[in-house]
């Protein structure tokens, strides 16, 4: 049973495979396990190969300075915007204003790790192609057909390769978005998950009542 989200809050735009620069979005606390530094490194690799990529980083945390320094060191500071915290009510607008969502999570050196990030579920519900990693429960959030596109966690080279594959499938972004949203609606809908909780609670309660009933 997953925590679930309300997919109706995140409606896909009419189309995503437009021409021009590709706008990536990442949302999350700026901590090591979110992999934001790895994402900046991967974007630098692909910009060096001629891909026109721009990244918006939404969130606050102790790694902000390291992210800024990494972007500057790799010569892409002008293509990475750190916009700080954004109210939850504006997240859907951020999804609509970007082409791809990325959250390359990994296990931090202190052992901190993800479950299934809510922002990944929300981005998929918004019909966004999502770049992520084979970390913790994250593969569960994706349709099985999309799981080969997940990068190895902590591997910048593989992350860049998987992002390049997504860029090559630009004409399929709408299809990927529909698959992702359908998966979330079927497996991560808050209403469905609440029903499952209630069903479980009912079965547990019934079982306890039977076990505690007096012998006849």
Q: What angle do CA 184, 205, 212 make, to 5 degrees?
A: 160
Q: What is the pLDDT of residues 84-137, one digit of tens each?
A: 999 999 999 999 999 999 999 999 999 999 999 999 999 999 999 999 999 999
Q: What is the pLDDT of residues 10-47, one digit of tens each?
A: 989 876 667 899 999 999 999 999 999 999 999 999 99
CB 12 within 8 A of CB 95: no
The helix/strand/coil state of 55 is strand
Give the global pTM.
0.91
Q: Among 180, 190, 193, which Cα is nearest to 9's?
A: 190
Q: Would you give the DSSP letter of residue 188?
A: S
């Amino acid at each position: 049973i997953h925590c679930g989200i309300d997919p109706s809050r995140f409606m896909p735009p009419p189309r995503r495979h437009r021409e021009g620069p590709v706008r990536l979005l990442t949302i999350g606390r700026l901590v090591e396990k979110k992999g934001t530094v790895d994402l900046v490194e991967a974007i630098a690799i692909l910009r060096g190969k001629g891909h026109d990529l721009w990244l918006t980083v939404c969130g606050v945390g102790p790694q902000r300075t390291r992210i800024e320094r990494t972007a500057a060191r790799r010569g892409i500071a002008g293509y990475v915007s750190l916009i700080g915290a954004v109210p939850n009510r504006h997240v859907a607008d951020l999804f609509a204003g970007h082409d791809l969502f990325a959250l390359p999570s990994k296990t931090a050196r202190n052992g901190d790790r993800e479950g299934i990030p809510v922002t990944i579920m929300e981005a998929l519900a918004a019909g966004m192609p999502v770049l992520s990693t084979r970390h913790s429960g994250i593969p569960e959030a994706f349709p099985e057909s999309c799981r080969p596109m997940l990068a190895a966690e902590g591997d910048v080279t593989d992350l860049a390769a998987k992002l390049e594959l997504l860029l090559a499938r630009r004409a399929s972004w709408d299809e990927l978005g529909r698959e992702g949203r359908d998966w979330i609606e079927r497996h991560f809908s808050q209403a469905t998950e609440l029903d499952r909780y209630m069903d479980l609670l009912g079965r547990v309660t019934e079982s306890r009542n039977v076990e505690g009933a007096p012998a006849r």
